[in-house]
Amino acid sequence: MSIEDIYLFFLSQTWQNVVAILKPACLLAIVIFLLTLIWVFTKSKWLYWYLIWDSQDFVRGAPVPFQKKAQETWNKIKKKLSSKKEADWKLAIIEGEKIVEDVLFKMGYKGKNIKEKLEFATKAQIPNLESLSSSAEIYENIISAPDYRISRDKAAEVIKAFEEFLKYFEYL
């Protein structure tokens, strides 16, 4: 097969028939793809968060403060605490601990978990170190023993200790 044969194939009626079938099929595939993208963007918040929200920030001249996002996240955690289910209380503690642990990491405390990070802290650095340490212990109990029982009052104490820590360091 030579280059001339390939060239002649593309000039032949057979190739013209294939192209006549492929053009509408490709056009249909593109239209379906675009309609799917439009549907996905309208059903998700992606378009709002990444396009509209950013443009609103640009018009305002400044980004939305980090504290606002943190406050929204924290309100969701506190809402779980107001539930009647013990599983929601535990989940609130787990999510709150993750935020506290992240803040400790950003502050430069090293360790595998929150207990190890708090071992290197002093009362002068973290005013509610004792309540935070006991809260970390309750968190460890929840993680290590799924059947660990906790009362709503105890869960509220843990969340309050986390909240005091986050407010002291101006996360909330």
Q: pLDDT band at residue 60, thresholds of 50, 70 and 90? A: low
Coil, strand or helix at 108? coil
Q: Mark whether 34 and 79 lie in a shared domain.
A: no
Q: Mark whether 37 and 91 lie in a shared domain.
A: no
94's tokens: 């787990």
pLDDT (average), residues 128-157? 89
Least confident range of 17-26, 54-63, 87-96, 116-125: 54-63
* CB atoms inside a 10 Å sphere around CB 71: 14
Number of structural domains, the chain?
Answer: 2
* pTM flag (> 0.75): no
Domain end among 28, 60, 92: 60
End-to-end CA distance of the chain: 73
Angle between helices 129-144 and 152-168 (to 10 degrees): 130
Q: pLDDT band at residue 31, thresholds of 50, 70 and 90? A: very high
167's tokens: 């407010």
Buried b (16+ CB within 10 A) or exposed e, 112-125: eebeebbeeeeeee
What is the pLDDT at residue 127? 87
Q: pLDDT band at residue 47, thresholds of 50, 70 and 90? A: low
Domain end among 60, 82, 97: 60
Cα 92 from chain centre: 15
Q: Mark whether 77 and 54 lie in a shared domain.
A: no
pLDDT (average), residues 121-129? 85
Q: Mark whether 147 and 78 lie in a shared domain.
A: yes
Question: If you ran DSSP here, which 8-state letter would residue 53 be given?
Answer: H
pLDDT (average), residues 23-47? 87
By residue range, what is the domain housing residue 44? 3-60
Q: Mark whether 78 and 37 lie in a shared domain.
A: no
Q: Mark whether 100 and 160 lie in a shared domain.
A: yes
CA dist 46 → 27, 37, 75, 98, 148 (Å): 27, 12, 22, 25, 38
> Is pLDDT of 148 > 90?
no
